Each structure stands twice: as C-alpha cells, then as structure tokens.
Amino acid sequence: MIRPFDWRDVGLVRALSERGLCLDSATRLTRGTQPLQSALLAYLMPRAGTPTLIWRDEGHSAFGQLRHRAGDERARALFIAPGWSIEPAGWLALVDQLAVEAGGRGGHNLLAEVDESSPEFEALRISGFAIYARQTIWRLNHDLAPTAPALPLRHASKEDGPNTLALYNDIVPRLVQQVEPTPEAGRGYVLERGHDLVAHLAVRRGPLGIWVDPVVHPEAFDLADEIVSSALHFLTSANRAGRPVYVNVRRYQDWLQEPLRLAGFEKVASQAVMVKRLVVRVTEPALQSIPAMAARNTRPVAQVERLIHFRPPTRAGLRSGPDEPSTIAGL
C-alpha cells in the first residue's frame, strides 16, 4: 500500500534515510539530502515542501520523494529509501507512484540521475525510464588561491537571454532540449567573442558546494583552459567558506574534460540522466461540418495535437512504456 506521509511516519523516514539514494546530484552536492525535514514541510505546507510517499507491505517499508514546481513540465524523483537491493518491490512501486503523482500535478517528464553501474539504474529501466544524456561530475576542493581572470568573463544579465538561448540551441541536442529548460537568463557567467556569446556557465550555490553547468561553443575550444581559469577566479573569490566546486560535463561537451583535469579537478561520478515520459502526444483531425451534408458526414480540416497523461504500467506487466525504447540517446 502506498499513501502520503503523515506525522506517524517520522520515525520510519528518519530510520530509512541513511540507506536511501538521492537522484538529483546538484541538490545532493550543494545542499545535501534532508528527507525528514522535506517530508515534514510538505506535510505542514503542501505547496512548499517535497511530496513524500510511504510504501508498506507485510512488514516491509520504504519511502520516496518528488520535486516539482507548480506549472513546470519537469519533475524529479528526488529521494528513495532504502536502496533497490534492499527493497526492490518497494522501489518499483514508489517509482511508479511518483510518476503518477508528477503527472497529476501537470508534469510532462520525470527525471532521475544514477550511476550506470548501480543496481538502481536497472530498476529505473524496468520502470520505463530511458537515458537521454550522460554526464561526468568533476570536483575541485577549494585549495587554490584566487588568480587574475585570463578572459573578460562577466556576470550574466537579463539582456543576455536571446544570445544564451541561441547558444543553447546550437550546442544542446534537440532530444535534451525537449526534456530540460533553457538556462535562466541573468544567472551565472558569460563570455562573448565579438557580438556572439560563446560560453554560458550556470551556477548554483549551496552550503555544501558550488555547482556549475557549462555550455561552451566548440568555436571556443582554443579558449577552454582560459575559460576554466577565469571561472575559477570568480568562483573562488566569492567562496569564502571554502566549499568544493563541481562542474557537470555532459557527453556532448566531452572536450571540456581535459581542461578541467589540467586545472586540478578530479572525476567523482559518471552518470546516466534518465527520463520517464508522463504524456503522449496524439495528433488527430479537427472535424468541420460540410453544409450540404451536415447531418450525415464530416471531414478533417486540420491536424491538432493534444497531450494525454498516462499511468505507468503495473508491476504485473513490466515494460518500458508504450512503444518507448529503453534508450533515447547515448549522448
């Protein structure tokens, strides 16, 4: 049985949290996982917290948490405990119910990040998730002295929005764009070459670390080392707490990995970024009456699209969704 978290589950969530898995790397590395606090906040303020679901079955128990902002097409499976190898039945049931919950809140896609070598990777595939990107996470412990910037990297502004979007459209594969939003204008750092934007570094800061998502044009390949050193100048000068810096490199930006290694970063994780589609696009004719035959016949005058939310398959018939391949893109 699966039901929403309530006050009776405080002890259960506290006990299971240490054996769980966070499926959002940026949250885990910058803010840490706080499952119990998130569950209590959602219980007291449903619109402000993280929806938490409790699974119980014949003395076994597990819980899962969802992150979704109202009106956003993207939802995240945030945390599930305990791990797949401990409670496989609970894991699969919770993943399915998190998808139902996200779809009911208006989400179009449910995302999760896992190591491809982990047992949870296979569990997500069984639950209908597909790989849409791959990423490598690099870490630099804050032990470098701030250096002068080698390039005129600057803080992004709202006016950079169109150029940031153009860069994103040029670099990020279309399949990824269907799942992830464009970078938020006015946040992070940008680099211009002439009148063109050639690099955008989206930055997230938390008490545990600093997370950087770079989008760099291949034409700036010769500037890769200088971009990394200039970014470190800004990040280290504002990093008084000595937090580690994490850079997330997607497979389609693989050439950034060597400059990071040379700058002193170490590789800490290689992950599959996975998605479960919660809607199906259906194209159907829009019908219009023919005046002379209004009572007897209609004819299609246009093709229109609508989105249909669907419930995930039950465990009785495990499959990866309606005609959905197990891998969208090996990016």
Please write the tens of the pLDDT for every residue from 154-194. 999 888 889 999 999 999 999 999 898 887 777 889 999 88
The pLDDT of residue 315 is above 50: no
The pLDDT of residue 132 is above 50: yes
**Mean pLDDT across 107-134:** 94
Output the pLDDT for position 321.
Answer: 41
Spatial contact of 186 and 223, defined as CB atoms under 8 Å apart: no
Output the pLDDT for position 287.
Answer: 58
Cα 204 to Cα 109: distance, rounded to the nearest angstrom = 22
Strand locations in the chain (E): 2-4, 21-22, 52-57, 60-67, 74-81, 109-115, 130-140, 154-155, 189-193, 196-205, 210-216, 245-250, 266-277, 279-289, 298-309
Q: Please give the residue that has the higher pLDDT: either 282 or 141.
A: 141
- Which pLDDT tens digit goes with each residue over 47-95? 777 899 999 998 899 999 999 987 789 999 999 999 999 999 999 999 9
Q: Which CATH superfamily is domain 2-128+278-317 in?
A: Gcn5-related N-acetyltransferase (GNAT) (3.40.630.30)
Of 93, 125, 126, 95, the closest CA to residue 2 belongs to: 93
Q: pLDDT confidence of 110, banded at 50, 70, 90?
A: very high
How far apart, in Å, are the Cα atoms of 265 and each of 76, 141, 199, 262? 28, 8, 19, 7
Q: What is the mean pLDDT of the chain?
A: 84
Peptide bond just before 82 cis, omega within 30 deg: yes
How far apart, in Å, are the Cα atoms of 289 and each of 122, 300, 303? 51, 9, 15
Q: pLDDT confidence of 292, banded at 50, 70, 90?
A: low
Output the pLDDT for position 182.
Answer: 81
Exposure pattern of 101-135 as b/e (b: 16+ CB <10 Å)?
Answer: bbbebbbbbbbbbbeeebebbebbbbbbbbbbbbb
Q: What residue ranges of the chain are covered by domains with CATH 3.40.630.30?
A: 2-128+278-317, 138-271
The pLDDT of residue 303 is above 80: no
Q: Which residues contact 34 (CB under 8 A, 6 or more apart)?
A: none
Q: Which residues contact 113 (CB under 8 A, 6 or more apart)?
A: 23, 24, 25, 135, 271, 272, 273, 274
Q: Are strands 245-250 and 130-140 parallel, antiparallel or unpaired?
A: antiparallel
Output the pLDDT for position 240.
Answer: 65
Q: Which residues contact 141 (CB under 8 A, 6 or more apart)?
A: 244
Q: pLDDT confidence of 234, banded at 50, 70, 90?
A: confident
Q: Please give the residue that has the higher pLDDT: either 298 or 11.
A: 11
**pLDDT above 70: percentage of residues in the chain:** 80
- Tokens 């209908």 belong to which residue? 128
Q: Give the least confident one: 124-138, 181-195, 202-216, 275-289.
A: 275-289
Q: pLDDT confidence of 146, banded at 50, 70, 90?
A: low
Output the pLDDT for position 82.
Answer: 95
| Beta partners for residue 83, in sequence order | none
**Mean pLDDT across 320-329:** 43
Fold annotation for 138-271: Aminopeptidase (3.40.630)
**Alpha carbon of residue 253 to chain centroid:** 17
Of 94, 110, 75, the closest CA to residue 20 belongs to: 94
**pLDDT above 90: percentage of residues in the chain:** 57
Spatial contact of 136 and 108, defined as CB atoms under 8 Å apart: no
Say how many C-beta atoms besides its own lie within 10 A of residue 249's C-beta.
24
- Would you state the structure tokens that stand for residue 25, as one six-digit string? 């790397």
Output the pLDDT for position 329.
Answer: 46
Q: Are strands 74-81 and 109-115 parallel, antiparallel or unpaired?
A: parallel
